[in-house]
Amino acid sequence: MDILDWKNLPFGYLKTDYNIRSEYKDGKWGDLEVSTSEYIDIHIAATGLHYGQEAFEGLKAYMGKDGKIRLFRWDENAKRLILSADGIKMARVPIEMFRESIFQVVKLNKRFVPPYGSGATLYIRPLLYGSGAEVGVKPSAEYTFIVFVTPVGPYFKNGFKPVNVVICRDVDRAAPKGTGIYKVGGNYAASLRADVAAKENGYVTSIFLDAKEKKYIDECGPANFFGIKDNTYITPKSESILNSITNMSLIELAKSLGIKTERRQVPVEELSEFTETGECGTAAVITPIGKIVDPDKNIIYEYCKDGNAGPVTQKLYNRLVAIQMGDAPDEFGWMTVVE
């Protein structure tokens, strides 16, 4: 009997059997420990609570038709967590320890990996925070690393269907030389005012512009933005956005499909020239954008007028998902089987 209603899972937290933890003390990481508790005991003066010393990652495990569980480019997540740790002065999680933790936690929670064809996946959430007590503003001497998993459905509830988004000019998510390139909790806190307002107005998320000039597209809620014109995949280059592993992969896939690629500043006005737009990320996968509303300028950019993703977006989606599910050959060496 199925343990969950796999086809109708939300993108949210569901309790699983185990999580993995390790503590960094006296300059070194302790052994990985398996826990069944959903709770942590945390010092009241921990820097993770007071000064935002916290970073996380997000990746997925996919159940193939062949019954094998695969992870997508986990080494890129391990490297990005190191970048985030350096960015806010935390202890690094070594790549081998990251690997061991995520593979072990998936194996321990195997019964929660959604079946092939359900449209759901197992989301893996590694988390690193300063757990030592400090009251002055300085990096902690102690850290905690936790990895939990939760089965998830699509981030945007209709999955691969066009969504509407709104351009936000009155909130900045990240400053040009700030923490936008790191996957730290503070960036998400900074995005919440815009996100709540967007949802209240019927949009799934907001598009942030560059904080300095408000001329260029930056981040698209919890995902990177892309636009298509003249058989070219165009995605913003910015020093304040997360370097999305999905986006990086789409650039490679596009090239292999004969689609040109450009990574450069994308002026807001260029939205009128794109024939397709979308957002991409682990949670969002590829989500086509139907409408981008710019309330300050009173402009609505419309795509997907027939209610479906455009041809290039569709082609990229099909290829990406086929590789992730193990349906297509892993020609880029992106997938690792959990054994």
Residues that bind ligand PLP (CB under 6 A): 58, 219, 222-224, 242, 244-247, 281-282
282 is a site residue for ligand COI (CB under 6 A): yes
Q: Pairing between strand 121-130 and 163-168?
A: unpaired
Which of 151, 219, 132, 133 has its CA nearest to residue 181? 219
153 is a site residue for ligand COI (CB under 6 A): no
Question: For residues 186 and 222, which CB has a smaller minimum distance to ligand PLP in the complex?
Answer: 222
Residue 290 C-beta: closest distance to ligand COI, Å: 20
One residue of 23, 52, 58, 68 binding ligand COI per CB under 6 A: 58
Beta bridge pairs of residue 70: 62, 337
Segment contacting ligand COI (CB under 6 A): 203-211, 275-283, 288-296, 327-335?
Answer: 275-283
Tell me how far apart the alpha carbons of residues 324 and 49 are, in angstroms, rounded to a whole number: 35
Residue 254 C-beta: closest distance to ligand COI, Å: 20
* CB neighbour list of residue 58: distance below 8 Å, 6 or more residues apart: 77, 123, 124, 125, 183, 282, 283
Give how many residues touch ligand COI by CB under 6 A: 5
Residue 245 C-beta: closest distance to ligand PLP, Å: 4
Q: In the structure encoding, which two tokens stand for residue 308, read together?
A: 């479906």
Contact between residue 227 and residue 274 where contact means Cβ atoms under 8 Å apart: yes
Cα dist. 46→43, 134, 144, 165 in Å? 5, 6, 10, 37
Q: Indicate if the alpha-carbon torsion angle 260, 264, 267, 271 is positive or negative.
A: positive
> What sections of 109-211 are H helices per DSSP?
185-200
Question: For residues 72 and 143, which CB has a smaller minimum distance to ligand PLP in the complex?
Answer: 72
Segment contacting ligand COI (CB under 6 A): 35-43, 90-98, 135-143, 276-284?
Answer: 276-284
132 is a site residue for ligand COI (CB under 6 A): no
281 is a site residue for ligand COI (CB under 6 A): yes
One residue of 162, 222, 278, 310 binding ligand COI per CB under 6 A: 222
> What sections of the chain are H helices per DSSP?
47-50, 74-87, 95-108, 185-200, 245-256, 311-325
Question: For residues 210 and 219, which CB has a smaller minimum distance to ligand PLP in the complex?
Answer: 219
Tell me how far apart the alpha carbons of residues 219 and 41 are, in angstroms, rounded to a whole number: 34
Give the CA dihedral 316, 319, 324, 327, nearest 10 degrees.
Answer: 160
Q: Which does 244 bind (CB under 5 to 8 A by kind): ligand PLP, ligand COI, none?
A: ligand PLP
Question: For residues 192 and 300, which CB has a smaller minimum distance to ligand COI in the complex?
Answer: 192
* CB neighbour list of residue 57: distance below 8 Å, 6 or more residues apart: 77, 78, 80, 81, 124, 125, 126, 127, 183
127 is a site residue for ligand COI (CB under 6 A): no
Question: For residues 46 and 152, which CB has a smaller minimum distance to ligand PLP in the complex?
Answer: 152
Catalogue the active-site residues: 183
Closest-approach residue to ligand PLP (CB): 281
Residue 20 C-beta: closest distance to ligand PLP, Å: 20
Tell me how far apart the alpha carbons of residues 208 and 210 are, in angstroms, rounded to a whole number: 7
Residue 200 C-beta: closest distance to ligand COI, Å: 19
Residue 211 C-beta: closest distance to ligand COI, Å: 20
Q: Which does 205 bind (CB under 5 to 8 A by kind): ligand COI, ligand PLP, none?
A: none
Contact between residue 209 and residue 167 where contact means Cβ atoms under 8 Å apart: yes
Residue 282 C-beta: closest distance to ligand COI, Å: 4
Residue with tokens 């508790």: 37
Binding interface with ligand COI (CB under 6 A): 58, 222, 281-283
